[in-house]
Chain A
Amino acid sequence: MEAPAPSEGFHTTRWSQVAAAGGDDAAARTALEALCARYGYPLYAFARRKGAGAAEAEDLVQGLFTRLIEKRELRGLAREKGRFRSFLLAALQHHWANERDREQALRRGGGALVRAVDLAGADERFAREPARELTPEQHFERAWALEVLRVATGRLAEEYRASGRAELFEALKGELEGAHVPHAEVAATLGLSPGAVKVAAHRLRERFGTTLRALVADTVASPAAVEAELGALLRALEAGNSAAAL
């Protein structure tokens, strides 16, 4: 379930909605479910980096989301004005500490573990990640940033595909990363005028900016924090890059 793209001047975000409702509101719980489903992998990767095995990491993430969603452990969240990203990481660490204290049997005995998030393929994906000299927290932030970009570009590609403009997207997507796309060649290949290609390229960049910001807006306390969060995500990616270059 996706919320409509927020328009100019929107004043609530999904996360602020969740935080404000403190888990009592059905709509807020749905919003939280959608958010959790999107950011399961970064948490999973964090747990793995912290030394958890594949099964344990999955249990931890599923367990956390179950607690958050089903058991309404969201009271007191109204005070939580920060980023969803920071909240989730803190919640996982808290949950993990609790789980360690508790008996393993108790955790497994209940059998009530709901699969709140799809982590199929997470283990394989984790194994493919290149080694980087990063802390588990930095890994988490990096994975989060990649997840945001994966969803944003995926959504945009789907939008273009659904409206029969898949070729245009493929031809122009390099614009999004600042690559030099020869408009004249694209125009010749797709049978468009150079002017139309230029306009399409501009629209694509604009559309990506909107899609990305709408996605990020869901995870921060107020729309005003979006740009700062984007900056933080960029720094997270750059930290990973400089570490990999060592």
Chain B
Amino acid sequence: MTDATPCPRCGAPRTPAESPQGLCPRCLLAESLGVEGSVVLSAVTPTEPPPTVAELAPHLPQLALEGLLARGGMGAVYRATQKNLARPVALKVLDRAIAARPGFTERFEREARALARLTHPNIVTVHEHGTSGPYTWLVMELVDGASLRHLMRQGRVAPREALAIVVQVCEALQFAHDQGVVHRDVKPENILVDRRGRVKILDFGLAKVLGRDTDSFTRTSQVLGTPHYMAPEQWERPLEVDHRADIFALGVVFYELLTGELPMGRFAPPSQKVALDVRLDGVVLRALEKEPELRYQQASEVKTDVERIRGTERGAVPEPTAGKAPAAAPTARGRRRAQEERLQARRDERESVRGRRGPVAALRSGLDELLRGVPSPVRLLIGLHMLFLILAALLALVASTGFDF
């Protein structure tokens, strides 16, 4: 017996017995977990309170600090403006306990320089980095959006959007891998989506800086976020990890995006969980191969396969893909293609938004598009005419059935 009613916000059915203090349990948890703001850190309890704006300001005179955006396991993120450029930025101040680890400063310097070279539309740019007084910090591009984790919690990622997101993540990963940078901590918390639907990957290579996957791993395991995205070899042979660990993590994110669940233990292929193109199973499962050798060897290969599936879903001709070598640097043609793809992704997103609004809204916007440019008095006439035709057809139908009024 059920007396379940749907929650007005999330639609989840719940009974009074399942509603603590009359509240929706799902929304309660989601609210208390939801991290609002532009930059979202990995969700780990910090070990010490973050420095206040007043404490930081004397050490960072080049920035006008505006306030705390978010805090997480690595430290805290502040909203700020770079005074000389009047550019809004995000300032990440690393936790002092992390900065105090042996060898940290050298590692940070080395990696931060590599990160600063990663200029890509789908990677959060690191503008500046340094150590001032007791603080180690990074000045990054400010992203106006939310993390994939946040979007997934709100249930706002449709399968079509998931594919558009995965394609962009692949582009970012391939670019970084070509520069010799491995992310090592790809997870929904580190994948931001801005208001235009553009993906921005956060914290490239920071896991290495933090020494998360080196021999200090066991000592620092308390700052490890969720381990579900780590490739098997990352656990077993952390020192031998290469870019294929990112491809495994991408597979986990992909699976989670499609099914809402993590691929743990003996998991079912995505299409057995939700209605999907079964060809996606092959892509996800190959990214999730335990042996790095059996996995996709390049992020670009994942992208190619996803795009082929997206393309044929829409009835387009599949592109030839075999043996395409990844470009070392983005060429003008590559950039143009990337631009086109992003535009397409945006169009796709608009389409999926329209689809979710229901058939009546979709019909209306379809009609709107059809009648675009037609002056409104004419539109009215067309509308009345159509209404008349429909009524006439109905009357004819009723008359032909011989129904007596």
What residues make up the interface of A, taking CB atoms closer than 8 Å to B?
Answer: 8-9, 125, 127-131, 145-146, 149-150, 152-154, 156-157, 173-174, 176-179, 205, 208-209, 212-213, 222-224, 226-228, 230-231, 233-235, 237-239, 241-242, 244-245
Contacts and interface: CB of A to CB of B under 8 A. Distances in A.
A241 B30 CA distance: 13
A13 to B, nearest CB: 11
Interface stretch (B41-49, B59-67, B109-117, B334-342): B41-49
B17 A125 contact: yes
A153 B31 CA distance: 13
Contacts of B48: 8-9
B49 A224 contact: no
A178 B27 contact: yes
A40 to B, nearest CB: 16
B260 A242 contact: yes
Contacts of B28: 149, 153, 176-177, 208
A136 B4 CA distance: 20
Contacts of B321: none
Interface string B248-271: 000000000000111000000000
Contacts, number: 123
A145 B21 contact: no
A129 B2 CA distance: 7
Given A130-B15, A149-B25, A177-B28, A228 B225 contact: yes
A231 B23 contact: no
Interface residues of B, number: 46
Nearest to B34: A178
Nearest to A223: B45
**Which of B11, B13, B25 gathers the greatest number of chain A CB atoms within 10 Å?**
B25
B89 to A, nearest CB: 26
A233 B29 contact: yes
Contacts of B9: 177-179
A234 B26 contact: yes
Contacts of A213: 45
Nearest to B273: A242
Contacts of A179: 8-9, 27
A241 B32 CA distance: 18
Interface in B222-243: 222-226
B31 A228 contact: no
B222 A224 contact: yes
Nearest to B155: A238
Interface majority SS (helix, strand, loop, mixed), chain B: loop
Contacts of A238: 12, 26, 260
11 contacts: A9-B48, A130-B1, A154-B21, A177-B23, A208-B28, A223-B222, A227-B33, A228-B44, A235-B262, A238-B260, A239-B261
Nearest to A81: B221
A119 to B, nearest CB: 16
A234 B13 contact: no
Contacts of B10: 241
Nearest to B13: A244
Contacts of B153: 234
A140 to B, nearest CB: 15
B223 A224 contact: yes
A231 B226 contact: yes
Contacts of A173: 21-23
B133 interface: no
A130 to B, nearest CB: 4
B299 to A, nearest CB: 26
B45 A227 contact: yes
B402 interface: no
Contact of B33 (A177, A234, A245): A234
A235 B73 contact: no
B375 interface: no
Contact of A149 (B11, B29, B49, B260): B29
B13 A231 contact: no
Nearest to A128: B17
Contacts of A223: 45, 222
B25 A145 contact: yes
A241 B10 CA distance: 10
B20 interface: yes
A177 B226 CA distance: 25
Contact of A228 (B20, B26, B226): B226
A121 to B, nearest CB: 11
Contacts of A145: 25, 29
B96 to A, nearest CB: 12
A125 B8 CA distance: 25
Contacts of B21: 153-154, 156-157, 173
B165 interface: no
Nearest to B42: A227
**Which of A149, A157, A212, A242 gathers the greatest number of chain B CB atoms within 10 Å?**
A149
A238 B223 CA distance: 26
A224 to B, nearest CB: 4
A89 to B, nearest CB: 14
Nearest to B49: A8
Contact of A231 (B7, B17, B43, B224): B43
Contacts of B77: none
Contacts of A157: 21
A237 B31 contact: no
Given A178-B34, A230-B32, A237-B25, 8 more contacts: A8-B48, A130-B2, A146-B18, A176-B28, A178-B30, A222-B222, A224-B223, A244-B13
A129 B45 CA distance: 34
A178 B31 contact: yes
Contact of A154 (B20, B26, B33, B262): B20
B93 interface: no
A150 to B, nearest CB: 4
Contacts of B44: 224, 227-228
